């Protein structure tokens, strides 16, 4: 174990990997303590939705527990194809492809489509799987400052002419800062420099835009405005897996050539069935997205009013609450746990030094009373620790 983590255990400050007994909904049980969850990626609370349980049971009975093969050969089930059609419709693209993890989706997409002679330009705060995809691809890659379109322009101006093809990749909603990429400007700049665009909507799907369809919904973009939409089935969608939604020829190419499709076992059909049902629920139950958006607006206002620094987080369920150095951040999270709230402390190297934070994730299923209790607790702890 690393020295810092050893000390956390020694001083009783370790709040990572605490085993949750049962469903990870907005209330969880750890040992004999019941806690309010403030760190779940199941933003819409679909993880505890009765329809999801029903579909999972039915799919298990119909398909069994695994796919029994890779997608290219014998691992494709009818439900995989139904899910891919649904994702394509949801993202208003021609087609889509599903992989067995979001992490792997980024790795395989980038390394299949781009290589030597190409350049990949990424936001400094893009997810680790995008960095790893760049490394695997053997393309050159460069970073621009977070959400800084002027810096993106500079990188493209300085480098575009040296490469055959260029791909600009951003996270739609940034997982550590909870802010949204300025997609209309990014698309425009990429177009001016004859470059492709890709957006990772792991935290945007089901959370932003009036219909929860993601960044295109939020910015009211035209269908296909972004060349490649990537998303996960492990967050607002309470399953596992990742997808790419794009033009048909891109998806067909990926189906025959991307290593994670050709050489890795298919997503279990049960997970595909759950994902399909979750997308149907998002489309039909508009109250869910409304509750989520009401809850995150209420929470962020409350935290800001107390004087906490929440960076530029706005209109997303991820609210970073800056605490300071590592140990202070761990101490704060430990105090929250003592009061009955589970929230993950995020520290260096995941975020810059001294910018340790609680990454608060609001859910559609939090009640107003629960959010009020969280805010009251944060006021008490924040004052006692002199954070506010």
- Which residues are identified as catalytic? 175, 203, 235
The minimum distance between CB 368 and ligand PMP, in angstroms, equals 28
From 200, 227, 326, 370, residue interacting with ligand PMP (rule: CB under 6 A)? 200
Q: Positive or negative CA dihedral for 233, 235, 238, 239?
A: positive
Which DSSP helix (H) or strand (E) runs through 137?
helix 128-137
Contacts with ligand PMP by CB under 6 A: the residue count is 14
Near ligand PMP in 125-184, by CB under 6 A = 127, 129, 171, 175
Q: Which stretch binds ligand PMP (CB under 6 A): 200-208, 246-254, 287-295, 360-368?
A: 200-208
Residues 75-104 that bind ligand PMP (CB under 6 A): 101-103
Q: Which DSSP state fits 13?
A: -
Residue 12 or 349: the one with the smaller Cβ distance to ligand PMP is 349
Over the window 333 to 372, marking each residue x when it contacts ligand PMP by CB under 6 A and - when it does not, the resulting string is: ----------------------------------------
Nearer to ligand PMP, 15 or 234 (CB): 234
When the beta carbons of 171 and 227 are compared against ligand PMP, the nearer one is 171
Window 229-268: contact mask with ligand PMP (x via CB under 6 A): ---x-x-------x--------------------------
Nearer to ligand PMP, 182 or 324 (CB): 182
User: Apex CA 134: angle with CA 130 and CA 136, to 5°?
Assistant: 115
- Distances in Å between the Cα of 30 and the Cα atoms of 40, 49, 319, 324, 332 are 15, 21, 23, 27, 18
Instruction: Closer to ligand PMP by CB, 128 or 252: give it.
Output: 128
Q: Which C-beta is closer to ligand PMP: that of 104 or that of 189?
A: 104
DSSP tag of 160: G
Rounded least distance, CB 102 to ligand PMP, Å: 2
Between 86 and 193, name the residue whose CB sits nearer to ligand PMP.
Answer: 86
Residue nearest to ligand PMP (CB): 102
| Cβ–Cβ under 8 Å, residues 225 and 80 | no
Minimum gap (Å) between residue 158 Cβ and ligand PMP:
27
Q: Of these, 46, 88, 202, 341, which contacts ligand PMP (CB under 6 A)?
A: 202
Tell me which stretch binds ligand PMP (CB under 6 A): 196-204, 207-215, 276-284, 319-327: 196-204
CA 167: distance to chain centroid?
A: 20
Q: How far is the CB of 241 from ligand PMP (least distance, A)?
A: 7
Applying the rule CB under 6 A, the residues between 290 and 319 that interact with ligand PMP are: none
Q: Of 22-30, 90-98, 154-162, 198-206, which segment contacts ligand PMP by CB under 6 A?
A: 198-206
Buried residues in 24-59 as b, exposed as e (16+ CB within 10 A):
bbbbbeeeeeebbbbbbbbbbbbbbbeebeebbeeb
Q: Which region among 54-62, 199-207, 216-224, 374-382 touches ligand PMP (by CB under 6 A)?
A: 199-207
Rounded Cα gap, residues 123 and 173, in angstroms: 12
110, 137 Cβ separation under 8 angstroms: yes
Beta carbon of residue 202, minimum distance to ligand PMP (angstroms, whole number): 3
- Residue 205 has φ and ψ, to the nearest 5°, of -65, 125
Minimum Å gap between C-beta 71 and ligand PMP is 17
DSSP 362: -
- Order of all β-strands in the sheet with 95-99: 95-99, 242-246, 228-232, 196-200, 166-171, 119-123, 140-144
- Across the strands, what pairs with 197? 168
Backbone angles phi, psi at 325, to 5 degrees: -75, 170
Inter-axis angle of helices 326-338 and 368-384, nearest 10:
130
Nearest-CA neighbor of 233 among 184, 266, 264, 278?
Answer: 278
Cα 297 to Cα 284: distance, rounded to the nearest angstrom: 22
How far from 359 is each of 48, 136, 144, 296, 376, CA to CA, in Å? 22, 29, 24, 13, 17
Min dist. Cβ of residue 125 to ligand PMP (A):
10
Kindly report the backbone phi and psi dihedral angles of residue 4, in degrees, each rounded to the nearest multiple of 5, phi listed first.
-60, -45
| Shortest Cβ 219–ligand PMP spacing (Å) | 18
Q: How far apart are CA 70 and CA 266, in angstroms?
A: 5
Q: Which is nearer to ligand PMP, 319 or 381 (CB)?
A: 319
Applying CB under 6 A, the residues found at the interface with ligand PMP are: 101-103, 106, 127, 129, 171, 175, 200, 202-203, 232, 234, 242
């Amino acid at each position: 174990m690393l020295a810092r983590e050893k000390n956390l255990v020694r001083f009783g400050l370790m709040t990572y990997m605490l085993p949750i007994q049962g469903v990870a909904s907005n209330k969880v049980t750890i040992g004999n303590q019941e806690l309010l969850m403030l760190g779940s990626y199941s933003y819409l609370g679909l993880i505890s939705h009765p329809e999801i349980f029903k579909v999972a049971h039915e799919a298990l009975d119909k398909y069994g527990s695994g796919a029994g093969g890779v997608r290219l050969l014998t691992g494709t089930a009818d439900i995989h194809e139904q899910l891919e059609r649904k994702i394509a419709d949801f993202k208003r693209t021609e087609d889509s492809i599903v992989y067995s993890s979001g992490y792997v989706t980024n790795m395989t997409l980038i390394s299949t489509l781009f290589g030597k002679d190409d350049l990949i330009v990424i936001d400094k705060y893009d997810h680790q799987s995008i960095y790893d995809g760049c490394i695997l691809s053997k393309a050159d890659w460069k970073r621009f400052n977070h959400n800084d379109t002027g810096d993106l322009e500079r990188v493209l101006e300085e480098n575009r002419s040296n490469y055959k093809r260029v791909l600009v990749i951003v996270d739609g909603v940034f997982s550590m800062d909870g802010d949204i990429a300025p997609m209309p400007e990014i698309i425009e700049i990429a177009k001016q420099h004859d470059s492709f665009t890709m957006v990772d909507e792991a935290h945007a799907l089901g959370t932003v835009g009036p219909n929860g369809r993601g960044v295109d919904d939020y910015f009211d973009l035209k269908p296909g405005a972004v060349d490649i939409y990537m998303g996960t089935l492990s967050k607002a969608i309470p399953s596992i897996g990742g997808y790419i939604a794009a033009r048909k020829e891109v998806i067909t190419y990926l189906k025959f050539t991307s290593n994670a499709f050709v050489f890795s076992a298919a997503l279990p059909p049960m997970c595909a069935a759950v994902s399909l049902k979750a997308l149907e629920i998002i489309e039909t139950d508009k109250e869910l997205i409304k509750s989520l958006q009401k809850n995150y607006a209420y929470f962020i206002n409350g935290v800001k009013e107390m004087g906490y620094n929440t960076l530029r987080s706005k209109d997303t369920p991820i609210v970073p609450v800056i605490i300071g150095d590592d140990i202070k951040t761990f101490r704060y999270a430990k105090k929250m746990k003592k009061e009955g709230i589970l929230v993950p402390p995020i520290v260096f190297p995941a975020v810059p030094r001294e910018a340790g934070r609680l990454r608060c994730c609001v859910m559609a299923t939090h009640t107003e009373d629960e959010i009020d209790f969280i805010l009251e607790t944060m006021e008490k702890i924040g004052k006692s620790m002199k954070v506010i």
